[in-house]
Amino acid sequence: MSDNNFTTWSNRPAFLLATVGGAVGLGNLWRFPYIAGENGGGGFVIIYLAFVFLLGLPILSSEMLIGRKCHKSPLNSVKELVASHDASSFWKSIGWMGVLLPFLGFSYYVVVCAWAIDYLHLAILNSFHGIDGANSAQLFNERTNHPILQIFLSGFFISMTVWVIAKGVNNGIAKISKILMPLLFVLIIILVIYGMIQGEFLQALDFLFSPDFSKINTQSIIMALGQALFSLAIGTGLIMTYGAYMPDHYSIKESAAIVCIGDTLIALLAGLAIFPIVFANNLNPGEGPSLIFITLPIAFGGMPGGYLVGILFFILLIFAAYTSTMGMLEPIVSWLEEKYPGKRKILSIISGFTIWIFALGSVLSFSTIADVKPLEFLGVERNFFGIVDYTVANLLLPINALLIATFSGWVIKNSLMEEQFSQDSANWQIYWRFTNKFIAPIAIGIVLIDLTLA
């Protein structure tokens, strides 16, 4: 236990596996391959990697620093720092975002989690055998346009997450992460080896790692930065919450670097698992979000061993989503538990149920209320799911990342920085301060301006 009577991770591997697991999710397996595909592959990957390590690492370290210093939920950690630094109460918005963002994020993320469970079931039933493009698209539309099924599956996935969070940090999150993360890594390696044997692996290598800067424009650079923030779960409350359980003798810089490396490695391996299959079947690597649920089933249905590969792939997708949703529910429950100590189980259930009720808007956006566009009067042609997705991924996440960087660069005192980075070099401290003070706010500010003008 910490001096604040606050839970700490039982050991460093538990902390790192849980944190990498929280960051690794659909952003790596679903979003990264198709965004790389849409933006020309190799050149985009290089820019993405630069953003992960030059900007992602310092901001990630900031979140860990804030969490560990106060050993509280994001909301109360930021409140405590604002008070001790005699800073403007405006900065408390970072803490509020650390509760609101995981709530909103989970509510639409669970839609894709439900699809993944459904598609695992379809893969087991061999429903992809001999399927073509038109039939695959029709199958996807039929499954997502099944409100009762999708409501049940989303509720089931949320219940799975509640079950883990109710057990606590070490008996729940750490235990499950120690099982799922090694399994996830093994599954992805199996799929990469399969791609080497049965797929167009060299073409995938060329696509992912041969830079073609002629395809890079301002938009793809901005997308690379956005994807780096999204993939590392920056600004979601997850890193700050898991950082709050960090013992003082762990190096923040090393821990943040391992999270960045683990997250990026899985994103790149996902590309090497998916693209050889895509190219071997003459499918389009820039297919967009439908790459996973429409394009890949065509490949699974027509390739040697595709039945087993399809099953393994959707198990992988579910594992990655599961470790992420644990990191979305924990910031909410940790905050509530500070208000109502000793009631973690009931608080986990209430939180999960509330998220599920709110999630119905996103779940039904592909069936019952597909044509309902709540903000149409403002000229916004998006359904409920589209509005929540855009608001979280394109507005609130970058805004919170901007606030965290600016708060770290301009408000946090040198004495606190030196205390928390006591194991790290003076050069790292200078770099951390400079990046949070100038580079990150400017870069993220450009992303937000571009999104506003888009």
SS3 track for 127-163: CCCCCCHHHHHHHHHHHHCCHHHHHHHHHHHHHHHHH
Instruction: Give the pLDDT score at 32.
Output: 86
Q: Domains, the chain, ranges and CATH?
A: 12-453 (1.20.1740)
- Asked if the model's pLDDT at residue 196 lies above 90, the reply is yes
Asked which of 94-98, 230-234, 354-358 is least confident by mean pLDDT, the reply is 230-234
Instruction: Give the pLDDT score at 1.
Output: 35
Q: Which two tokens stand for residue 268?
A: 């790149």
Cα dihedral 347, 352, 355, 360, rounded to 10, equals -150
Measured CA to CA, the distance from residue 403 to residue 444 in angstroms comes to 10
Q: Give the whole-number percent of the chain exceeding pLDDT 90.
A: 72
Distances (CA, A) of 261 to 43, 173, 258, 267: 19, 21, 5, 10
Measured CA to CA, the distance from residue 143 to residue 165 in angstroms comes to 29
Residue 327: band (very low, low, confident or very high) from pLDDT cuts 50, 70, 90: very high
Q: Which two tokens stand for residue 3?
A: 């001096």
Measured CA to CA, the distance from residue 160 to residue 278 in angstroms comes to 32
Instruction: Give the pLDDT score at 112.
Output: 93
Residue 447: band (very low, low, confident or very high) from pLDDT cuts 50, 70, 90: confident
Asked which of 12-21, 96-105, 290-299, 401-410 is least confident by mean pLDDT, the reply is 290-299
Q: Which two tokens stand for residue 373?
A: 């566009």
**Under 8 Å between Cβ of 351 and 329:** yes
Token pair 């979003």 is found at 31
Mean of the pLDDT values across residues 146-171?
97
- Asked if the model's pLDDT at residue 120 lies above 60, the reply is yes
Mean of the pLDDT values across residues 129-155?
94
- Asked if the model's pLDDT at residue 3 lies above 50, the reply is no
Measured CA to CA, the distance from residue 319 to residue 433 in angstroms comes to 36
Q: Which two tokens stand for residue 362?
A: 């996103």
Q: Which two tokens stand for residue 187?
A: 């599954």
Neighbours of 81 (CB within 10 A): 24
Sign of CA dihedral 349, 354, 357, 359: negative
Measured CA to CA, the distance from residue 73 to residue 71 in angstroms comes to 7
Q: Which two tokens stand for residue 342?
A: 């000793």
Instruction: Give the pLDDT score at 34.
Output: 77
Residue 2: band (very low, low, confident or very high) from pLDDT cuts 50, 70, 90: very low
Mean pLDDT of the chain: 91
Q: Which two tokens stand for residue 13?
A: 């591997």
Q: Tell me: the pLDDT tens digits for 8-42?
A: 999 999 999 999 999 998 888 878 887 887 787 88
- Asked if the model's pLDDT at residue 252 lies above 90, the reply is yes
Mean of the pLDDT values across residues 384-388?
93
Angle in degrees, CA 138, 106, 273, rounded to 5: 55
Mean of the pLDDT values across residues 192-212?
90
Distances (CA, A) of 88 to 84, 174, 310, 424: 11, 36, 52, 29
Q: Which two tokens stand for residue 277?
A: 């299959």
What's the whole-model pTM score? 0.93
Instruction: Give the pLDDT score at 454.
Output: 64
Mean of the pLDDT values across residues 118-124?
97
Q: Which two tokens stand for residue 368?
A: 């019952």
Instruction: Give the pLDDT score at 13.
Output: 93
- Asked if the model's pLDDT at residue 295 lies above 90, the reply is no
Q: Quick one: angle between helices 218-231 and 397-406, nearest 10?
A: 80
- Asked if the model's pLDDT at residue 50 lies above 50, the reply is yes
